[in-house]
Structure 1
Amino acid sequence: MSVKPVFTSLAAAVAISLSANVNAADTSEWAKDTTSGETDAAMHLEPDLENGLDVYEVCSACHMPEGWGFTDGTFPQLAGQHRPVLIKQLADIRALNRDNPTMYPFALPESIGDEQALADVTAYIEKLPMNPENGKGEWAEGTPEFEQGKKLYEDNCVQCHGDHGQGDREKFYPRIEGQHYAYMLRQFEWIRDGKRRNANPDMVEQIKNFTDKDMAMVVNYVSRIPVDPKDLAPSADWTNPDFD
């Protein structure tokens, strides 16, 4: 599969904008404690989107050229995710602060490059349009489980993840709207049960008493939060033109 960069004069403008946004990031104590020095270094580098596309070719084998992953949750949707979040997770995996044996060899510097590569590939991923048909849970709006999931979200998750799952790029809180249900459910369980070592301890404390049913209901609700159409691909049949 050949890759044809499509960014020309746009690259510089987008890179400047991204750099300005990320440099303002507030690295909380949690973030500092669970990252290597690569996180801060990468966030202060100006992204090169053309190199980001080249680096992303490695990632696309699992996350797909569109960055959508799989609705069955095998791999998460990366498209549209906040760049600081992506940088932090990549750096954590490389530093063995987050256990991900499948991804680890592909995230290493010898596979994708140094801090500049992290800056570049995350800038590219953040600008990808999201899947308009993400994987959703089984309970539709109006069901008792949907409504209970909504209440659990409002009572426990809004402060960090926002009123519609938008997250907070300056505090490393991920965007969870539009993410696949099965992937979120697995990560939620791992965080609750202490299997994800780089999880925010505030979240671990917040959800420690969630039952499995509670988890399923709140994640079902999140998976069904509508994403702003401007952030979505025009259809589920959209293909990334950079990979034509």
Structure 2
Amino acid sequence: MKMYMKFLAVGCTALMLSGAAYAAGGWNEGNEEQDEALHLKPNHEGGIETYEVCSACHQLNGWGLEDGTFPQLAGQHAVVTIKQLADIRAKNRDNPTMYPFALPREIGGAQALADVAAYIEKLPMNPNNGKGPGKDLELGEKLYKDNCVRCHGERGEGKPDKFYPLIQGQHYNYLLRQFEWIRDGKRRNANPDMVKQIEGFSDKDMVAVMDYVSRLTPPKEKLADPDWVNPDFDW
């Protein structure tokens, strides 16, 4: 509860950081903290403690919000979460809302990244993620199979050994926003292969393929019951 009170006091005010001031970073060149976190043994209790900070936006279940303001984190590959957190902290990925809450003074160092990433990976996923409009699913399926399967897999399961994220079960509005930012060069830590692959996508193409992706469901063993409540925060 103390973390919620701290969050309310600080608020979700975006930190006004200029993208020009950020150090340029590669897609996955890594940094010292990322490399360290990837080789640490995660601690479950530490993961719970760290995730309490994250839960103020991403919700106690890790399911985010259907409107896409905050993505579902539950089930995400631990290596992907470590990479994204390390990139945000190293200013290789622009996320001014999340940045102040991801700093070491808020959640800890490399061990905290390892702990929370492992904890998030084991959270059961939302069975009712936000879906797209459902108008051009045939087009979306074709675009996905022609352009996305090689990296993200047939069912959006990703490839943790290559840091390709799991995208199945993700909220449509979040998927759409990130796809647009990657296509338009606004997400600096995006895989350059993906940027090149989707540079010719029209807005119609973008909506269709993300609509299709939003309907890629995780396997049953990864899904929670719709009314599941995270017992780690049963106050």
Q: Same fold (TM over 0.5)?
A: yes
2:205 counterpart residue number: 214
1:113 counterpart residue number: 108
Q: Secondary structure at the match of 2:129?
A: coil
1:176 aligns with 2:160: no
1:225 aligns with 2:220: no
Instruction: Say how many residue pairs are matched.
Output: 212
Instruction: Using the TM superposition, give the Cα deviation of residue 82 of structure 1 relative to its aligned residue in structure 2, in angstroms.
Output: 0.3
1:76-87 matches, within 5 Å, as 76-87=71-82
1:75 counterpart residue number: 70
1:130 aligns with 2:145: no
1:167 aligns with 2:130: no
Distance 2:185 2:31 in 1: 20
1:31 to 28, 32, 44: 28
Q: Secondary structure at the match of 1:217?
A: helix
Instruction: Using the TM superposition, give the Cα deviation of residue 31 of structure 1 relative to its aligned residue in structure 2, in angstroms.
Output: 1.3
1:239 to 225, 229, 232: 229
Assess, with a 3 A threshold, how the Cα gap between structure 1 residues 232 and 153 changes in structure 2: closer, same or farther: same
Distance 2:57 2:114 in 1: 20
Query: 1:94 touches 1:108 (CA, 8 Å); kept in 2?
Result: yes
Distance 1:226 1:79 in 2: 13
Query: 1:156 touches 1:206 (CA, 8 Å); kept in 2?
Result: yes
Distance 2:131 2:40 in 1: 36
2:95 to 75, 86, 100: 100
Any unmatched runs of 5+ in structure 1? 4-28
Query: 1:65 touches 1:243 (CA, 8 Å); kept in 2?
Result: yes
Root-mean-square deviation over aligned CA pairs:
1.3
Instruction: Using the TM superposition, give the Cα deviation of residue 218 of structure 1 relative to its aligned residue in structure 2, in angstroms.
Output: 0.2
Distance 1:126 1:57 in 2: 15
Structure 2 length as normaliser, TM-score? 0.88
Query: 1:2 touches 1:243 (CA, 8 Å); kept in 2?
Result: no
1:40 to 35, 38, 55: 35
Instruction: Using the TM superposition, give the Cα deviation of residue 226 of structure 1 relative to its aligned residue in structure 2, in angstroms.
Output: 2.1
Instruction: Using the TM superposition, give the Cα deviation of residue 2 of structure 1 relative to its aligned residue in structure 2, in angstroms.
Output: 8.0
Instruction: Using the TM superposition, give the Cα deviation of residue 38 of structure 1 relative to its aligned residue in structure 2, in angstroms.
Output: 1.1
Equivalent residue letter for 1:185: L
Any unmatched runs of 5+ in structure 2? 4-25
Instruction: Using the TM superposition, give the Cα deviation of residue 234 of structure 1 relative to its aligned residue in structure 2, in angstroms.
Output: 1.6
1:148-193 per-position Cα deviation (integer Å, ceiling 9, x unaligned):
1000000000000001100000100000000000000000000000
2:22 counterpart residue number: none
1:22 counterpart residue number: none
Q: Secondary structure at the match of 1:197?
A: coil
Equivalent residue letter for 1:214: D
Equivalent residue letter for 1:110: R
1:157 counterpart residue number: 148
Segments ≥4 residues shifted beyond 4 Å = none
Distance 1:155 1:82 in 2: 24
1:56 counterpart residue number: 51
